[in-house]
Every structure is written in structure tokens, then in C-alpha cells.
A and B are shown apart, each in its own frame.
Chain A
Amino acid sequence: MSEKLQQIINRQNQALVGDDQKVDEVIQLVGFIVGEEEFSIPILSIQEIIKPIGWTRVPQIPSYILGVFNLRGSVIPLIDLRARFGLPLQKHTDETRVIVMKNGDDVAGFVIDRLTEAIRMPKRDIGPAPDTISESETMIDGVGKQADRIVTILKVHKLLERNF
């Protein structure tokens, strides 16, 4: 009985995946600037975007993690993407934002210099990450080509992965 059910579910899932591929030819990204470069992440991995708020320093962690902050009752780590990418620190400005990203149960806030725009990008315009970087190490998911610029798409799960 349950096997049969499983088969049906599997079949339905397959059908769904097929549908997705057709619809999902365009993916939506949110672009932002860190340092000089424009990066982007899939819009679905963003929980919310907030203005910078106060945080509490946590000892004995890498310096790119600023600490933890209170997001409506949850204690969430705050990570400075400039520091994460090895760029010199900069004072927060009016344009500084915190993007709260999530991947499953993992949630963290990332400080970025400023937001650019929401980007709709056909899948065919996305190329792979430069192969000079080893596949398992890179935080880059791919590179999106637009008329006048190149947007680096980041792996959210890699950003949210603890690496210390």
C-alpha cells in the first residue's frame, strides 16, 4: 500500500520538477554591492532586509562575525561581508543594510554596503563560476551576464556554513 503511494508521490514529484524547469527559466536575484563588486543571491533565500541595528560582540570567533543581534526575539549571528571577503572595514553609512538570509534552519544577517536592485535573469545567461577556483571552496555559484555588467551569484548555503 505505502509502496504504491510512494510510487505515486514520486511520479507526481517528477512531474512537478518538470514543470518547474519550464517555469523556472528565469530566476530572480537581489543584487548588492560589497566593496567594488556587485553580488547577488536568489530572492527566495532572503528572509528580510533590515537597516543595521545594534549587536552584541561574541568572544572567540573570527573577526568577520560581528556578533549576534535580536531579530524579533531570535538571536541571530551578524556577519560583515566586507570582512568575510577580506576587504578593509568601512563605517556604516545610510545605505548600509543587513540581509537576513536563510537556508533551512540556518539563519544569519549579512552586512552589505548597499543594495542595487532585484534582477530577473534567464538561466541561460548564467555561466559557471571561474574554474580557477576549486568547486568545494568557492562561495560563487555562477556568474550572470547582463547587457552592461557582470553579476556574481553567491551560494547562500556556503555563506551560512560555519567554517571555523
Chain B
Amino acid sequence: MDEFEEILQDFLIEAFELIEQLDQDLVELETRPDDLDLLNRIFRVAHTIKGASSFLNFDVLTHLTHHMENLLNMARHGDLVIDANVMDIILESIDLMKALLVRIRDRGEDSGLDVSGCVARLDAVANGDAAPEPVVEIAVIQEAVAMQVDEEEPDYSTMSDAQVEAEIERLLAQKQAEVAAKRSGSNEAVKSEEAEPDYANMSDAQVEAEIERLLLEKQAQDAAKRAQKNQNTAPQASVAPSTPAVVTPPVPQPKVEVVPVAKAAPATPAPRRSEPKEEGDSKGGGVEQTIRVDVKRLDHLMNLIGELVLGKNRLIKINDDVEERYEGEAFLEELNQVVSIVSLVTTDLQIAVMKTRMLPIGKVFNKFPRMIRDLSRELNKKIELEIAGEETELDKSIVEEIGDPLVHIIRNSCDHGIEVGEVRLAAGKSEVGTIQLKAYHEGNHIVIQIIDDGKGLDADMLKQKSIEKGIITEKEADAMSEKEAFGLIFRPGFSTAAQVTSVSGRGVGMDVVKTNIEKLNGMIDIDSEVGHGTSMKLKIPLTLAIIQALLVGVQEEYYAIPLASVLETVRISKDEIYTVENRSVMRLRDEVLSLVHIGDIFEVERVFDNSEHAYVVVLGLAESKIGLIVDTLIGQEEIVIKSLGEYLKGIEGIAGATIRGDGGVTLIVDVAALMQMAKSVKSTVGSENGETKKLGAKNSSSDYCVMVVDDSKTDRTIMRKSLEPLGITLVEAVDGVEALNILKQGDHFFDAMLIDIEMPRMDGYTLASEIKKYNKYKNLPLIAVTSRAGKADRMRGVESGMIEYITKPYSPEYLMNVVKRNIKFNEGL
């Protein structure tokens, strides 16, 4: 990257940071048009951007900002009163400036946008409304001084050098008197800087005063906000007002910069500290130390922490296993200590890194005062915005996603919620409508609440509209609770606005809200009272990379469900599941909850499942709810989200994968997608039994399959010989481990197993209890064939899940009969 590119990047970063604060300042300015400090701040933004853009040869941007600055400068010097009209033009020009900056960021050039109209209006305001001619010129010339010779400046290109100089001389004399009167304090001696020779002689004091003032203000802000940034901005700020000839930044050392701030601040016309809002910014007076870090590095750090969390989970699991095996051993305590320290530190580390990624939500909230102002003018309503909790922090990635939904919600509140003044007065409310925007933490979530005191949502009206638009049927409408009816506003295509305005009414916005909030695993809760207003609560998890999850099991598979979306879990018996219009539902207190089996969503093969009970995980996302039937609940675990990679990306219903303590991979459920899928999945909750029978159907003797597990070759042969007459398929395994592997591979569908008890590697009891762990084999008949005939042995056999106990030696007929009975031989033929 060459030098120019680097400077350009710095410029863009700075410019976007500046305009972020700008909107809020401008709106505030309207209420307090004579606040010099605010004006100065706004002026400075225009000024800085102009200076830098001229240096970088962005002529269009320079042209525009030049005229903006011009106007603002007049206001700053009290020569122009800022009223709503002037404000409109200023805002328009700011928007244009933003557009230009975006263009520069994206394409590296600023051509293609027409600024002449805006410039003309800026000038018209400057010339028309404002004061005497000389003042305008002063402003212009001051610009020239500040900006340095801009060849394209039409004002000067027509004049001869002498003329210009004479003019400047005259005006400056006048101006200096003014300036001197206004802020004599800032005339303190300053380092002498070499300005462009033309101006050096006559405008020394003025130029220096200006440079000094701008620098000081800039430093005051920057130093307070981020000492680091100073090194970048100081040179730019100095280049802008003085001249390209001044190459050396006047105050290159951050330390030095801080000193003049303290000295000079009281000297400025409107001391910064008089503003209560500024207190926050300037507290610490430059002592606060921050560094800029590339987001990529933070992401990498977060990934590493993720690995560590996985390692920690694994360590905890191993510790548990070891504890079980070596109960009471002395070294256990030591191990325990180490494990708990590691896990504690990991958690702390994770929180610390998460914190470094946190940004105050104020970054998003900042743009709303401006938006409300524009909207209220456009809609002819009086609306006030109250913001609380803008210092609430949340993850950077979420801050980026949350902006759009909030814009839509607030627009909606302004357009549909708040009534026009007369209606409000008639309803006995204050003429000015209020929208409150609040953010606060609640457990592992951040809650953003948008409350308006408008006309509220009318459930019946919403239903009516939805029926008209064909979004729901009348039958559905009748069954809807009030809350569900409120949820209708999130359906695509829904709008209550009688006509489409430029603000809203297309029925898209709230759909966007829902999608974005779902993407963040958030929930939306609407509360409304007709005539009193609406409150919308967005509940969003604090971070996205490492989450708490509920692990559930279905057959032999496990899935992780983000805990943020889990409302509750219930254990129900199969009779509590009803079928309504081909879908399964259940009653949950006073609600009807639609159900879907996780196995139906993820195509899990269900071989046997005769358990009388099922677990229902109640999932809530945005405003909808669904019950997910699972076989088992494993528990809660902290998981690290990993992507499935390019090859497997975009699988419906799967948000990613995580690695569990045992090293296995567990898939993470994408709750939003799952809810979508649930709508189209055919319910099989009730039809399980039929399927089971079909799978078990036998057409010939060889379809029956029995596994013989015995470590003695002789014994296996005896069993084989005994069962040969039946003509059934026999599979042999030499011990428990092999038997289990054969079962897992699923090449055969076994009707029964003959198991020896005494075997190397894994004995019969262990094998039996291992097999019974699998849902699939819950009903697989296990027959012990052993020489151990003691009562205790039999008991153990029953405990581990054996259903028959054959003692060696046995007659071939006896064995055959037992097997026949257990595999229901020929019953199905």
C-alpha cells in the first residue's frame, strides 16, 4: 500500500468517526442554535474534512464542504441565525457529504454526485438571509486562509494578486478587530509557524489563532477520547487550516498536546466543560489510554479462546471420569484444583476478551435523534425521543446488525404509532408524542426497548387487516390470542398504513426486523394498549461466538440448541400429544403449542422408540414459539460455534457445529430455520408404531438375524450347530467390543443376541448395559448363555438387561426354542 492509500484510509476512518457524532450535534443545535461549542464542533467536522479532501484532491467534496464551512462559520460568528430552514439545508449538505465519503470509500473517487444544487442553496442562505456583504467575504477569505490556495476557487481566479491582497488586507484588519474582541485570550503567544508567504505577513496572528484554536479543540476531544488517534489527526488538522507548506505538525507529541488543552480551554468562547454532556467525553483529560486494534486480530483472539473453552470442557469431562474411577485417591484433589483453576481462568479470559469486543449501543442510538427530527418534520407530528442506557455495551457484530431493525421499528412508531397533534390533544394526551429508546442488560442478554405513547395496536384491527390481505384465514384469526395478533405485524406483506408513504406502509420493514433479530438469536416481545401506546422489547444475546446451549439426544445423535432460544423444557407422556389438522400439538398451560419431532426435521432414522414419555423443548424466537420433541435431555454446556466450512455451508436447520468434551462433533440447531422447516414437515409423532412393524417384517427364515457373542470358538460352533435347523442368519463376534461395533455399523438388523458372560475386553454384563443405552436396541432380546449359574449372576444379568438366562451345558433343542420364542420366529410369516 503506498503512502497516499494509507493517508486515504486514515482520512476515511477519521471522517466517518466525525460524522457519526455530527448528526446528534446537529439536532441538538436546532434546539440550542446559539450554543457556540456545538457550532464549533460541527464547523470543525466540515473544516477537517475539507482540509483533508483538498489535500487528497477530492475536488467535489472540497467544493461542497467549503461552502458548508462557509455557512457554519457565519453562524459561528453570530452573523447567521440558524432556523429550521437553514438547518434543513445544512442537513442536506451533510447527507451529501456522507454520500460522497461513502463513494470515496467504495470507489476511491468522489465524482458522479451533483453537489451544485446544494452548494447553490448553501450560498443562497449565506448571502440572502445573512448579514452584510463584508461578513460573507470575510468568511470566504478566512476560508482561503485556512484552506490555502485552492486553484479552483473561482473567487480568486478572477482577481489579480494585488487585488486579492488588498482585499484580504482590508477585510482582515476588520476581522482581526472582531476576533480580538471575541477571544482575546487565545492571542497568547504560540509557536511561530511558517504559513504561505502571501499571507504570512498580514494574517499571522489570525492564522495562528485559528490554527491554535482548531488544534486545541481537536486535541481536547481527541485526547480525551483516544490518545492514540492524535498522532494521525494532528498532522491533518494542521495541514488543513494552514498550508501544505507546513509539513511539521506543530505538536507531534501526545504529551505536549495535553498541556495546552488545560491552559487554553477556558480561553475559548464557550468552554467545553460548561456542557454537561461533554463531561463524559473529557473525563480523565487525556490520561485514558486506548489503542486501535484491527477487528481481525480480535476475531482471531476470540477463536483462540474458543479453542481454550473446548479444551476446558474436555478437561472437565476427563476429570469427572478419573474421579469416578479412582475415587478417594489422594492425587484427585490436586487434579480437581488444577481443573477448577483452569476453568475459572478460562471463563474470566473469555469474558475479558468478549469485553474488548464490546461497543456501547450509543453508536447505534446516535443516529436516531436526527431521524426522528426528519420524520417529525416530514409527517408533521411533534415527536420527542428519549434515550436511556446508550452506554450499554454489546458485541461489535451485534451492534452492526441491530441498526436496521431499530430504524424500522422507530419509523413504524413515528408513522403508525404516534398520532398527529390534534388527535393527541383530542385524546387528552400531550401534543408532543414521546418515543423512548432504552437499553439495559438482563442476565446474558441485552434488552432494547422501544416505547411510544401513540395509539397502540388494536388486535382486532390487525386480524381484520391480515384477513383482508390473505395473510391468515378467519379461522386462524379466531384462534389467535392478543399477543399472537400483535405478532402479525411481522408477517411479510402486512401493513396497517392506509396508503404507502415514503416513510412506511410497504409491509417490508417489520419483516426485516424479525429476520434480523432471529439471525441474532434474539426474541421480540410486544405489549400494547389501545390508546396508550406500544412497547417493543428486543432481547438479544450478548455475544455470538461462544454460547450456552442445551444438548438434546435423539436416537444415537446429539444436537445443541442455543439456550437463548429455549424457553422451558417439559416432560410429557405420549397421550398428551394431540393431532390437529395433521400436525401434532400439545396443551401447555393455557396455550396450544405446535410440536415437531427433531427426528423428522433432521431425518433421523427411528428404529425403535416405545418410550412412553417424551421431552418437549419449548423454543421461542422473535415472537413465535414451537415445541421440539426430543428423546433425551443431556444438559447445559458452554459451546463454541464452529462453521461447517465451505463444503457444507447453508444446510437448512444447522447453524454450525461444536466439539464436545469427548472430542465428538455435535451439530448446532438453527432455531429460526427449524421453525420454518417445522411448517412443512409431516408429523410422524403418532405413526411410529406402524413404521416399527414394517421394519420388523420378515419374509423368510433367513431374514431373521441373531448375533452370537462368545470368546470360545467351540461354544460358537455349538450354538451355530444348534440353530442351523432354523435357517436363520447368524453373525459371530468374539467379545463385547466387537459385538458393539457390529451393532453400530448397522449392516444387520438383529432380532436377538446370544451373549456369553465371561469374555475378554468387554464382558457380557457390560455389553448388555452398553446395548441398552441405545434407544434403537431397547427392545432387542439379549440372551445370556453362560456356565455361571449362581443366583447373583442371574440377578446381575437381569439388571444389565438380559431377558433370558441359559446355563451351559444346554440341549440344542432348548436353545433353539428359547431363540425361536424371542425372535417370534414364523409369527410374522
Query: Residues of A at under 8 Å CB distance from B?
Result: 1-2, 54-61, 65, 67-70, 73-77, 91-92, 105-108, 160, 162
Q: Taking A60-B652, A77-B644 as contacts, is the C-beta distance between A91 and B747 under 8 angstroms?
A: yes
B647 and A75 contact, CB distance less than 8 A: no
Does B664 lie at the interface of the complex (its beta carbon under 8 Å from any beta carbon of A)?
yes
Q: For A67, what are the chain B residues with a Cβ–Cβ distance below 8 Å?
A: 665
B2 and A77 contact, CB distance less than 8 A: no
A-B contacts, 26 listed (Cβ < 8 Å): A55-B665, A56-B557, A56-B665, A56-B666, A59-B603, A59-B604, A59-B653, A60-B651, A61-B648, A68-B648, A68-B667, A70-B659, A70-B663, A73-B307, A73-B310, A73-B659, A75-B644, A75-B645, A75-B659, A75-B665, A77-B644, A105-B646, A106-B646, A106-B647, A107-B645, A162-B646
Partner of B657, one of A1, A2, A75, A162: A75
Q: For A55, what are the chain B residues with a Cβ–Cβ distance below 8 Å?
A: 665
Q: For A107, what are the chain B residues with a Cβ–Cβ distance below 8 Å?
A: 645
Does B654 lie at the interface of the complex (its beta carbon under 8 Å from any beta carbon of A)?
yes
Q: For A92, what are the chain B residues with a Cβ–Cβ distance below 8 Å?
A: 745
Does B698 lie at the interface of the complex (its beta carbon under 8 Å from any beta carbon of A)?
no
A54 and B664 contact, CB distance less than 8 A: yes
Q: For A162, what are the chain B residues with a Cβ–Cβ distance below 8 Å?
A: 646-648
Q: For B604, what are the chain A residues with a Cβ–Cβ distance below 8 Å?
A: 59
Q: In the assembly, what is the distance between CA of A107 and CA of B646, in Å?
A: 9
Q: For A105, what are the chain B residues with a Cβ–Cβ distance below 8 Å?
A: 646
What 20 additional pairs, Cβ within 8 angstroms, besides A75-B659, A162-B648?
A: A56-B557, A56-B664, A56-B667, A59-B601, A59-B603, A59-B604, A59-B654, A60-B603, A60-B652, A61-B651, A68-B648, A70-B663, A73-B310, A74-B642, A76-B645, A91-B745, A91-B747, A106-B645, A107-B645, A108-B647
Q: Taking A68-B665, A70-B665 as contacts, is the C-beta distance between A58 and B651 under 8 angstroms?
A: yes
B142-169 vs A, Cβ < 8 Å mask (1 yes, 0 no): 0000000000000000000000000000
| CB nearest to A163 among chain B residues | B647
B607 to nearest A CB, angstroms? Answer: 14
Q: In the assembly, what is the distance between CA of A108 and CA of B649, in Å?
A: 13
B647 and A69 contact, CB distance less than 8 A: no
Does B440 lie at the interface of the complex (its beta carbon under 8 Å from any beta carbon of A)?
no
A128 to nearest B CB, angstroms? Answer: 28
A24 to nearest B CB, angstroms? Answer: 28
B749 to nearest A CB, angstroms? Answer: 15
Q: In the assembly, what is the distance between CA of A67 and CA of B667, in Å?
A: 10
Does B602 lie at the interface of the complex (its beta carbon under 8 Å from any beta carbon of A)?
yes
Q: Taking A68-B648, A70-B664 as contacts, is the C-beta distance between A75 and B653 under 8 angstroms?
A: no
A65 and B648 contact, CB distance less than 8 A: yes
A29 to nearest B CB, angstroms? Answer: 23
Q: In the assembly, what is the distance between CA of A107 and CA of B645, in Å?
A: 8
B313 to nearest A CB, angstroms? Answer: 12
B648 and A57 contact, CB distance less than 8 A: no
| CB nearest to B311 among chain A residues | A73
Q: Taking A70-B664, A70-B665 as contacts, is the C-beta distance between A58 and B644 under 8 angstroms?
A: yes
| CB nearest to A59 among chain B residues | B602
| CB nearest to A65 among chain B residues | B648
Q: In the assembly, what is the distance between CA of A42 and CA of B278, in Å?
A: 65
Q: For A75, what are the chain B residues with a Cβ–Cβ distance below 8 Å?
A: 642-645, 657, 659, 665
Q: For B646, what are the chain A residues with a Cβ–Cβ distance below 8 Å?
A: 105-106, 162
A53 to nearest B CB, angstroms? Answer: 9
| CB nearest to B643 among chain A residues | A75
